[in-house]
Structures are given as structure tokens and as C-alpha cells.
Structure 1
């Protein structure tokens, strides 16, 4: 019993320390936007928690926000499509968690020179910390011009770490087809014949904001190809891998094909690639940060015999 009592003061001290620590955290003031009202900020960095702006899939986080707080509960964000600032209400949940522009953010820092926001993922109003790994840094325009003496465009350029990472991924993709990733500058297809036309499919704009998802156009590049004077009428939708030399390899169909027809249709599509596409098109491989690499594209090919 005496042995047990010897530890009571220690645990009592630990409990008091923990209570003080928790109280200190809970007493921290909520972030406020009133002191920075009217200051225009430009987003200069948007990165994952590892410091990179590229995901291994090829997706690139792009700093593009221009904003200012018009009131404590209102923010205006510039829309390049509409060429004007769009107003959003700010809803405060608790502590540093805020909702605006249809997303949740944890406000990490607020000052007249800079803002740091953490994009949050919530499911059933529960924060998923493991998925909330995107950080946005914005600088005041005066700070960029008068203190840093540069431009937001220069600050937004990919870092040396991004370049090293993409170079490594390009080497992987060019040596192993299973390692292919989306090219930031997608494959370019150009017709070399009057009987073939090719068109890259554009992403649809958001019906509310008029915002176009630019990432879809390089993550899922899609092309429409029409061939006149074909040997017969046909229409197929399929995926191909375009390697760093521009060579096409059939990968699979984009729509389900019945098992009993899979072998026959695969043979036909490979023939279309070898006879028409390889001979009638100029193919420029996709690249990211100047590094050509293998990537996957979707093709919708229609042939007319007439």
C-alpha cells in the first residue's frame, strides 16, 4: 500500500499538467478575418503533406486562387471563367474549421502578409485527418511585389523536388507499363491524311460556377477519331498506352465486351491501330515538366465505308 501511495503525487501532477495543457488549447482564440479585410491574396503554393505538388498518378496541385475577405463571414474568390470575383459565405464550425467555396478548410495561419489553409475531407461531419493532406499558401499581393519583389506566376512554378520526382516517375513509366501516369501535357494527335480527322474532347463546365475541371483534360485525355473510306463501318471505344516514343499499344476497351466476343474484337481493334492510326496520324507523346513518358489515353474511333 505504501508503494502505491508513493506514486499518487506524481499522477496528480501529471493530471494537473494535462488539464492545463487541454485548457490552454481550448482557450486559443478562433481565427478571425476582420484584421485582413480587403487585402487581396494570391495563392503561391498548393502542396501535399510531403511537400510535393504532384501525386504519383500525375495529378498536379495548382495554386490558382485569388481572393479577399469582404467581411468576417464573406470571401470573394476570382473566377477566371467568369472574369470576376465570386462571393461565398463563410461558415464557422468549431475552432479553426471553416466552410466556404463548397469545401472545408482548417485555417492554419492568418496575417496581413500571408494565409495558410489546410483542405479538409469530412465524412458524416467527421474529419478524415489521413485524407486531409493538402496545404494552400497565399501571399498578399503587396507582400509579393514590395517585399519579395517577384510575381505570383514565378512563385507558382514547380519546385526542384517536383522535377526530381517527375523525372523518377518518367523513368519508371518508360520501363514498366504498369507504372504509367497521366501526362501534364497530354498526348497530341495530328492527322496526316484527308480521310482521318481527330479531335480532343473538352471537359464540361460546372453548371453553377462555369468552372472547367482542367485536371480532367490531362488525367483522362479523350479523343474522337473519324475515318472515312474505311474497309467497313465500325465504331469502337478503347484505351491505348502511348509510350515516350509515341508508339501506341492496345490496353483495353472502355465499355464492357461480352467474353465470347473479346478475342475477336481485340484483334479487330489492334488491326485498326496498326493499319489506320499508326499510318495516318502523327503522335507526340505526353510529357510532364519536359520529361516524355508513357501515358494512357481514350480513343473513340468511328469508321465509315462511304
Structure 2
């Protein structure tokens, strides 16, 4: 369900070979007269720090029907004709990346192909382009990024970037409708920007939410899976027996668990699947509901049903350190 969403709405990674080809050929689609269009240049704005203040779909919303939020998180500075710097909040520093310039206002930074729409010393408006295999469509974009310079935000707008990045009334109204549907029918649950919280009530139960650490330097910049399919590893010490189960569940707006499906293959073994569902449902209804405080997911401060993945391991005796 989320595959198309993730391709369309996140920054897209490309192979080294394709990037090399782009740099060498200055990407020219087979359009009559296209080769006469000049290569985009950022000379006039070099050295200016731009902060992304909005990232929206072409319909003006920053949320889609699955609850995915397009978070404006770029902090960008053009360094030279072939280099741009992006800010890493993890490292709290700017890092330089190759800047590949193409014709028709197309350029590439840090695994994303973009098309410049407007540029001034105060702001940039950029379209995020989509990939289809080993090519891009320079005329198709579902996402528009807007960036303001630090000086413009501070000295002309007299505000802070965090204020500009807030959800709009249109976003709030859209999410409110999603919440109403999800809380009426949990089958319409959607991803929460603030995911479900599972808090252990006793020392014998330990919960760890999986978290991807984004890294521009290691090409691991996307944390979409953490958002769209939050996963929790739960260890139960002093269980009635050793066991391991993985399943998907929906947590409603009141924090109540609803079993969805197992997350392991059964290769057509209906009896094994039936028993797996029976036992893992019982574990959910006993250990997890009794020994965990479950706080429902929220989006824009509104509690709603959302789906999570759970890996539960039970051990009769605590495992000794190696």
C-alpha cells in the first residue's frame, strides 16, 4: 500500500552509474530544441543559507491519505558551481556534496533530482522529480519544496523557521477527516506522525522501538519505514515458556490493541497459521495488554487508530550476558 507513496514523496536514491551519466551528459531528454536551453546556475545565491519552510504535494497539502507527512527538513547552501552543502542535524554540521547541473533547470544533490522553478536571494522554489527505472520525467512532479534564506526569515519576516513549517489550516482539516474515519473504522487506520508508545509496567518486560538513524554521509537518509510501519521489539523475561512471534496490530484511539495478521510465512500450512494466530493473539491479550501502558498514535495532536508491527520474544529465564 505504501510503495507508491514512498517512491513519490520521499527523496529518491539513484545509482552511482546513473549519477555519473547525468553529470557527463548534462541530462537532455529527447525533446526538439531542448539542447539549446542553458544549464541551471546558482552563482547568484552562492554562500546563502536556505531553510526549507514547506514541502507540499501539488494539491497544496503536506499530508496524504496514508497519513504520510512531507516534513520540510532541508538546510541548504550552494558552495560553488559543482558543490552544495546540506546540514545534518545528527552531526550538527554542514557537509559538502557534488552538485550536478543539467539543462532546463534540472540539478542533482544528495541522491535527489530536482528542478528549479524560482530563485532569488530570499527564496527558492524547487520541484522534486520522480524516477522511473533509470530515467526521470522532468515535467512530472508531485512535490514542491519552498526554501527561504536565513536573512529573509529573521530580518524581513521577523519570525522563526519552525513557525513557517507548521501545518496549515488545510492540513489540519484534512487530517481531522482522516482521524474521524479511522476512529469510526479501524480498517481505515493511518500512520501517526507521533507513533504509538509502549511503556513497560514491570522490569521483566522490555520494549525497544526500532529507529533508523539518518545519515547523509552513508546514503541512509530516509526514515520513512519508521514512520509508515513502526516496529517494536518486546522481550518478556520469566515467561511461561520460550517463544517468538511477529505480528501486525492496530492500536485504536483509546490505546486498545486489535490483532491484524501474523508477519511470518506459512507456505500454505493452514493449521500452523491458525495455531500461530491463536497463540500470538493470546500473548497480545495477556502479556502485552497487562504489562504495557499503551498510548495511541497522534497526528497534529489528534489521537487516532494506527497500525504497528510487533516482535515478541519470551524467555523462561533472563538471558545472561555473553
TM-score, normalised relative to structure 2: 0.82
Q: Does the C-alpha gap of structure 1 residues 46 and 205 become closer, same or farther in structure 2, counting only changes over 3 Å?
A: closer
5 Å-filtered alignment, 1:234-273, equals 234-257=243-266, 258-273=269-284
Q: Is the 8 A contact 2:34 2:104 kept in 1?
A: no
1:196–1:115: structure 2 CA closer, same or farther, 3 Å change rule? same
CA distance in 2 between counterparts of 1:120 and 1:210 reads 18
1:93 positional shift = 2.6
Find the counterpart in structure 2 of residue 294 from structure 1. Answer: 305
2:175 aligned residue: 166
Distance in 2, matches of 1:65 and 1:268, equals 46
Shift of the alpha carbon at 1:207?
Answer: 8.0
Measure the CA separation in 1 of the matches of 2:192 and 2:303.
8
Measure how far apart 1:28 and its partner are: 6.4
Moved more, 219-228 or 125-134: 125-134
Q: Corresponding residue for 1:8?
A: none
Equivalent position to 2:188, from 179, 191, 194: 179
1:121 and 1:188 map into 2 onto residues whose CA distance is 34
Going from structure 1 to structure 2, the CA distance change for 1:122 and 1:207 (only over 3 Å counts) comes to: closer
Larger Rg: 1
1:145 and 2:167 aligned:
no
RMSD over aligned Cα, in angstroms?
A: 2.3
Q: Cα distance, 1:221 vs. partner?
A: 1.0
From 40, 64, 74, the equivalent of 2:83 is 74
Cα gap change, 1:231/1:108 in structure 2, threshold over 3 Å: closer, same or farther? same
Distance 2:34 2:316 in 1: 74
For residues 176-255 of structure 1, the aligned pairs below 5 Å read 176-206=185-215, 208-209=217-218, 213-255=222-264
Q: Following TM superposition, where does structure 1 have runs of at least 4 consecutive aligned residues deviating by more than 4 angstroms? A: 22-30, 204-207
2 CA distance for matches of 1:94 and 1:45? 25
Post-superposition CA distance 1:133-154 (Å, at most 9, x none): 1111011111111111111111
- SS of 2:85 mapped into structure 1: strand
Per-residue displacement from partner, 1:115-135 (whole Å, max 9, x unpaired)?
011010132554346862111
- The answer to whether 1:57 aligns with 2:58 is no
Tell me the TM-score normalised to structure 1 length: 0.86
Give unmatched runs, 5+ long, in structure 2: 1-30, 318-322
Distance 1:275 1:131 in 2: 50
CA offsets per residue over residues 139-193 of structure 1, 9 Å max, x none? Answer: 1111111111111111011111111111110111111222111111011111112
Q: Does 1:127 align with 2:136?
A: yes
Match in the other structure for 1:18:
none
Question: Separation in 1 of the partners of 2:85 and 2:281?
Answer: 51
Aligned mates of 2:208, 2:215 — CA distance in 1: 22
Distance 2:74 2:128 in 1: 13
Is the partner of 1:133 in helix, strand or coil?
Answer: strand
Paired residues, number: 285
Give CA deviations for 1:182-206 in whole Å, capped at 9, x if unaligned: 1110111111123322121222444
2:187 aligns to what SS in structure 1? helix
* 1:217 shift after superposition: 2.2
Q: Secondary structure at the match of 1:225?
A: strand
- Aligned residue for 1:280? 291
CA distance in 1, matches of 2:150, 2:83: 19
